[in-house]
Structures are given as C-alpha cells and as structure tokens.
C-alpha cells in the first residue's frame, strides 16, 4: 500500500476507558473535571462536546471523565484544545465506537501535551474482512508531547499512525496485521504489548509491525521499543522502511515465533539500506534468533543504544508535568 506525506483521515474511534487512580500530590493539578454521561446525567452527553468545551489555547489541565455507557461518535482533539486528560469508567463499561474507512484521529500540535489513560482505540472497518487491503487507522497522533498510559489500539491495517512529534506510550497494547505502527514520529514504547492479528487466510506474505518514514539524516524521528513483547498470529517483519532513513530499535523485547527469520524488509529503502537504522539489542524469545537476519541490520554501539533508550530521547521535562 502507498502512503502520502500528509495523511487525510476520517475520525473513526472505539474507545473503552477505565477510571484512573486519584492524582498524587507530586502530579500536575487538574483545574476542573468535565463529566460525560450518555444518559444525560453529566455536563455533556458526548465526548466531542466535552472536548469542544475546553477553551482554545487552554493552559490548565482539564479532566474529561467519561461515564459508563455507549458513545457512537467520531472524536477529534484539535491542536487548539490543549492539556486534556481523558479517562473513563471501566474498560468494559465506557464504549466510544465507530466504523469507517481510513482512521480515527487523536490530533494535537505544538506543546499542548494531551494525556490519555486506559483507553482503547479501535477501528472495526476491516474486522470481519481482513483480506480487504484498506487503511483502517484507529488513532492518528500528530502533535508534540503526547502521552498514552495503559491504552490499546486495535485494527488490522495501519492501526496507529504515530505521525509527527515526540510521544510516550507506556504499558500500551497495539494490535494489527499490516504496518500497524507507522509514521514519522519520535516515540518510546515502554513495556508495550505488540499483537499480530494476521489471519491464516492472508497467505504466506508477512505483515510488518512498523513502517517508519524518517526522511533524512537530520530528522530525530524513530520508534524505540523498550521491554514488552511481540506476539500473536501469522508472520511479521519487525519493520519495513517507508523511507530510506527509517529508524526502529527493539531493546530487551521478548519476541515470539511470528517474527520471520530475516527480521526486516527494505521496501522503500531498497538499494539504500546503509541509511536505514533497524536494530535489536538484548531481545529474547524464539523470534529474536538472529540467524537469517538481513545483513544490513545495524549493530549499535553502547553510546548509540543509550541515545535511543534514555528518556531524554523524547523528554525535556514535559512528561513529569503531566497529571498521571
């Protein structure tokens, strides 16, 4: 499938949320809480209405608490709506859902630092026809300083568009079959579970967990997976190069047998793999067997490894200023 530098998406979201623990005294304060109740008992009956209520240019943390219920809507958080903490009322109780081609976007830009806790973003467009090679983005993250804690992203093709900016994913689950983490982002996936849902009916062609699009040597972008695991069904590349400077690092990740022996695919960097940074460091499990790996996989020095896995790769203090 071909992708374009500017991704145009229709918002398609299924979100399941659970209540997050109360803030500690060391956490950033929340200035107000907005309640969403599909039955009319809150401040708003839709999530989007609550998001729209947050003032443009907001600089104080606002909690949007979504009570148990079913919410059929497309949700977008634009760049003007900053400092939003989205939380729900139980992973099996709060359901924000939609089904459509292309994707759901959770969008912000600049230094607005939205935070998402224990949310499930799902695009069901290909759920019953996984041979259908159409894009079904569950979430688009196109903003700087975005953090996700205990969230899940479910789809088949192009599940998570980690498009632009610095992002932190902690204890999240990302599920898909083809290029299901893709984009140009500069992100750390800390202790995350990566799940392939590639069905046997798809044939012998492997999918790819990642498709990173770094475009030149000066671009700081890259996907870094620290800890966690890669498992599921079917066969998967660890990544394929969307552009010739694609950067993906797996660090101490447990890998199941779904990873194909060659590990990586050159794709758009065919003939220029010397520019690609695809690396594995200290990984475990049967899928981490290096026998058969492509010869151009990078062997990083200790200094290079530290650059990627240290939180300073994405964090200049903004993570500690969030209400989590």
179 catalytic per annotation: yes
The answer to whether 146 touches 125, Cβ cutoff 8 Å, is no
Torsion of CA 114, 151, 94, 98, to 10 degrees: 90
Which of the residues 158, 162, 163, 190 is marked catalytic? 158
Which of the residues 95, 162, 163, 179 is marked catalytic? 179
In a 10 Å sphere around its CB, with 0-12 CB exposed, 13-18 middle and 19+ buried, how is residue 291 labelled? Answer: exposed
Query: Which parts of the chain fold into alpha helices (H)?
Result: 47-53, 302-309
Return the exposure string of 115-132: e unless at least 16 CB atoms fall within 10 Å of the residue's CB, then b. Answer: bbbbbbbbbbbbeeebee
Give the CA angle between residues 69, 103, 212 to the nearest 5°: 125
Residue 219: HSE in the Cβ half-sphere, 13 Å Cα cutoff: 23
The answer to whether 34 touches 62, Cβ cutoff 8 Å, is yes
The answer to whether 180 touches 157, Cβ cutoff 8 Å, is yes
201 backbone dihedrals φ, ψ, rounded to 5°: -70, -10
Q: Which residues, 6 or more positions from 274, have their beta carbon under 8 angstroms from its beta carbon? A: 296
Work out whether strand 193-197 and strand 254-255 pair parallel, antiparallel, or are unpaired: unpaired
- Residue identified by tokens 């599920």 is 175
Nearest to 249 by CA among 277, 275, 282: 277
Catalytic machinery residues: 158, 179
């Amino acid at each position: 499938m071909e992708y374009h530098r500017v991704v145009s998406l229709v918002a398609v979201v299924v979100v399941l949320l659970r209540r997050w623990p109360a803030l500690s005294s060391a956490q950033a304060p929340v200035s107000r809480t907005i309640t969403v109740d599909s039955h009319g008992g809150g401040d708003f009956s839709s999530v989007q209405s609550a998001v729209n209520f947050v003032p443009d240019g907001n600089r104080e943390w606002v909690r949007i608490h979504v009570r148990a219920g079913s919410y059929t809507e497309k949700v977008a958080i634009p760049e003007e709506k900053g400092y939003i903490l989205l939380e729900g009322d139980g992973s099996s109780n709060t359901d924000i859902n939609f089904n459509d081609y292309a994707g759901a976007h959770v969008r912000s830009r600049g230094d607005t630092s939205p935070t998402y806790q224990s949310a499930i973003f799902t695009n069901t467009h290909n759920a019953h026809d996984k041979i259908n090679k159409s894009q079904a983005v569950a979430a688009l993250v196109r903003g700087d300083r975005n953090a996700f804690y205990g969230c899940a992203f479910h789809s088949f093709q192009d599940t998570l568009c980690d498009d632009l900016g610095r992002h932190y994913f902690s204890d999240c689950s990302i599920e898909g079959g083809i290029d299901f983490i893709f984009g140009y982002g500069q992100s750390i996936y800390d202790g995350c579970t990566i799940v392939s849902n590639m069905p046997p009916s798809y044939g012998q062609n492997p999918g790819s967990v990642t498709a990173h699009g770094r475009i030149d040597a000066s671009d700081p972008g890259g996907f870094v997976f620290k800890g966690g695991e890669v498992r599921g069904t079917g066969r998967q590349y660890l990544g394929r190069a969307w552009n010739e400077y694609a950067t993906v690092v797996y660090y101490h990740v447990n890998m199941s047998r779904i990873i194909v022996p060659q590990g990586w695919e050159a794709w758009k960097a065919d003939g220029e793999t010397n520019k690609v940074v695809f690396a594995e460091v200290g990984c475990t499990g049967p899928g981490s067997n290096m026998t058969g790996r492509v010869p151009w996989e990078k062997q990083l020095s200790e200094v290079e490894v530290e650059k990627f896995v240290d939180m300073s790769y994405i964090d200049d203090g903004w993570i500690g200023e969030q209400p989590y």
